[in-house]
Chain A
């Protein structure tokens, strides 16, 4: 003859406290809920945004490289040789290359009456018609430069440059005042995520640049498309290919790396927020332990009665431990639901696909069980050690 409790009964015993004091139960699980919501939300939002970023990088391609003139050891600017693009084009693994040159002293305005100080940071760049293909760019409106128009005062505006100049559509009469000449606007580009400097640029032909602005033929930046699986290798060869005489002065970069590096930045912020979530969990666990201790003190008579009805110490301990576990698990579930809802809301508002951090959710719920067990240990032990005759002596 030993006493025993059925598992189903234990579960309903575990709910006595929260049924008699629902508000207190709700408040006691708040910390756990917030902690889990923070962890699931942070993981969910970063996963969703990272997935979106990876998809974007994938779509944009990781095989674009840029070659720019850097600096010499002394600090003065180096120049790329006139035929840098030819050398690059001959390199193994290079599919396409287009040269561009920044015409630093040339400025562009909406009309010839705007004072010079209102220039707004638009760069004038000389290039050739292959740029559109190399960058995989698209036109928002109009057409790009072609062999013929590179010889004439015709300009294609980057996305930001167009909006700064207040040009949203082009017709035969759309002109800008560029370096002291009227240039007809042929088209406006869509945003180019991998080449933000082109977004800010007014693009004109190399021949017209030479004619009007004395362009000397030295490019300042080359855009290179490489075979996707050989991009890293090609990148190592481009400096020498572009400037065999001074390869050390050439800056080669992979614009998609800048996007990819945002993944790492996100990671460090994520760990910070996860740490805060973990602290909230800890505080929540202490909160549950507190409420359980109070509950044990208040329920002395109930404990004494249960002992008189045949409950062994272990059954009293199991009852309060289960209550603590249940409270904590409820907090965990509420937090996970909240975290997923937040992820969904943020992802939807940013236009990302919602990614529920499945391991985060399960890990969080496992953590709440551990927390619930630890939080319940002390109060359950106190309840179990309570002397039944003392517990039944009412004041």
Chain B
């Protein structure tokens, strides 16, 4: 049996307000090393909330979240940040690249908060860009790339430190269908290399291409095809 990379036990997240918003409630989810999991659900069902908890960007208000074997609730800001730097990579719908930096420098930023020396970061970044098929765009300013290329740079940035888990929030949401298909192919390719991925998506093609599918509705998991070897 593979290692558990992420596990949520009865995890909930309530945003204060009148009335308070329970965007996630009683979620149990376990992701093992090597899995490719799609999380689907209608808008407002709590997908991004789930990703924020899984990415160590937010803490559950109830229940517990374990990342790479550590309970998020008990970690200091610096240790939780350390988990994000070492164990996790995140890919966003809006890419969040620094437009004035070159592709390779954007990717190298994935190692910035591990305290890796600059030349080592660039070497690893060049390798990661190569892995996503963008070696020829290494010196290009990120702002001058196409949408599909930008998302591949963002995936390379998440990949550069070979984290235990890569999380992607609607990675194809801002792309046309051709670029979207290429990104999906890249994610499947990484999965076959053993990279663990959790992908949030609206896109039925993306969901169908994933071996495991988790359905969220109103903050609860309503269906989970489960772990399949």
A interface residues (Cβ-Cβ under 8 A, vs B): 1-6, 8-9, 19-20, 301-302, 304-315, 388-389, 392, 394
Contact B57 A310 (CB under 8 A): no
Name the CB-closest residue of A to B113.
Answer: A310
Contact A311 B81 (CB under 8 A): yes
Contact B96 A312 (CB under 8 A): no
Any chain A CB within 8 A of the CB of B151? Answer: no
Name the CB-closest residue of B to A307.
Answer: B57
Known: A308-B55, A310-B82. A4 touches B115 (CB 8 A): yes
Could you tell me the distance in whole angstroms from the C-beta of A309 to the nearest C-beta in chain B? 6
Partner of A314, one of B78, B84, B86: B78
Q: Please report the C-alpha to C-alpha distance between residue A305 and residue B81 in the assembled complex, in whole angstroms.
A: 12
Could you tell me the distance in whole angstroms from the C-beta of A193 to the nearest C-beta in chain B? 63
Q: Which residues of chain B are within 8 angstroms of A5 by Cβ–Cβ distance?
A: 112-113, 115
Any chain A CB within 8 A of the CB of B87? Answer: yes
Contact B57 A312 (CB under 8 A): no
Contact A9 B112 (CB under 8 A): yes
Any chain A CB within 8 A of the CB of B85? Answer: yes
Name the CB-closest residue of B to A6.
Answer: B115
Contact A2 B79 (CB under 8 A): yes
Other 18 A-B pairs with CB < 8 A, given A5-B113, A9-B112: A3-B84, A3-B86, A3-B114, A4-B113, A4-B115, A6-B115, A306-B113, A308-B55, A310-B82, A310-B84, A310-B112, A311-B81, A311-B85, A312-B77, A314-B77, A389-B52, A389-B58, A392-B96
Could you tell me the distance in whole angstroms from the C-beta of A188 to the nearest C-beta in chain B? 73
Q: Which residues of chain B are within 8 angstroms of A389 by Cβ–Cβ distance?
A: 52, 57-58
Q: Please report the C-alpha to C-alpha distance between residue A264 and residue B114 in the assembled complex, in whole angstroms.
A: 59
Contact B92 A309 (CB under 8 A): no
User: How would you classify the secondary structure of chain A's contact residues: helix, strand, loop or mixed?
Assistant: helix
Any chain A CB within 8 A of the CB of B148? Answer: no
Which residues of B (23-57) have their CB < 8 Å from a CB of A?
A: 52, 55, 57
Q: Which residues of chain B are within 8 angstroms of A305 by Cβ–Cβ distance?
A: 96
Name the CB-closest residue of B to A394.
Answer: B94
Q: Which residues of chain A are within 8 angstroms of B90 by Cβ–Cβ distance?
A: 308
Name the CB-closest residue of A to B58.
Answer: A389
Could you tell me the distance in whole angstroms from the C-beta of A337 to the nearest C-beta in chain B? 29
Name the CB-closest residue of B to A387.
Answer: B58
Show 26 A/B contacts (Cβ-Cβ < 8 Å), sorted by A: A1-B83, A2-B81, A2-B82, A3-B86, A4-B113, A6-B115, A6-B117, A6-B118, A8-B118, A9-B118, A304-B96, A307-B81, A307-B84, A309-B113, A310-B84, A310-B86, A311-B81, A311-B112, A311-B113, A312-B77, A312-B81, A312-B113, A388-B58, A389-B52, A389-B58, A392-B92
Contact B57 A309 (CB under 8 A): no
Residue from A2, A310, A313, A392 whose CB has the most chain B CB atoms within 10 Å: A310
Contact A309 B86 (CB under 8 A): no
Could you tell me the distance in whole angstroms from the C-beta of B80 to the nearest C-beta in chain A? 8
Any chain A CB within 8 A of the CB of B7? Answer: no
Q: Please report the C-alpha to C-alpha distance between residue A388 and residue B96 in the assembled complex, in whole angstroms.
A: 13
Partner of B114, one of A4, A19, A308, A394: A4
Known: A308-B84, A389-B57. A1 touches B79 (CB 8 A): yes
Could you tell me the distance in whole angstroms from the C-beta of B111 to the nearest C-beta in chain A? 9
Known: A8-B118, A302-B98. A3 touches B109 (CB 8 A): no
Which residues of B (77-133) have their CB < 8 Å from a CB of A?
A: 77-79, 81-87, 90, 92, 94, 96, 98, 100, 109-110, 112-115, 117-118
Q: Please report the C-alpha to C-alpha distance between residue A1 and residue B58 in the assembled complex, in whole angstroms.
A: 18
Q: Please report the C-alpha to C-alpha distance between residue A14 and residue B74 in the assembled complex, in whole angstroms.
A: 31
Q: Please report the C-alpha to C-alpha distance between residue A313 and residue B110 in the assembled complex, in whole angstroms.
A: 17
Contact A310 B78 (CB under 8 A): no
Q: Which residues of chain B are within 8 angstroms of A8 by Cβ–Cβ distance?
A: 118
Q: Please report the C-alpha to C-alpha distance between residue A302 and residue B114 in the assembled complex, in whole angstroms.
A: 18
Contact B113 A315 (CB under 8 A): yes
Could you tell me the distance in whole angstroms from the C-beta of A19 to the nearest C-beta in chain B? 8
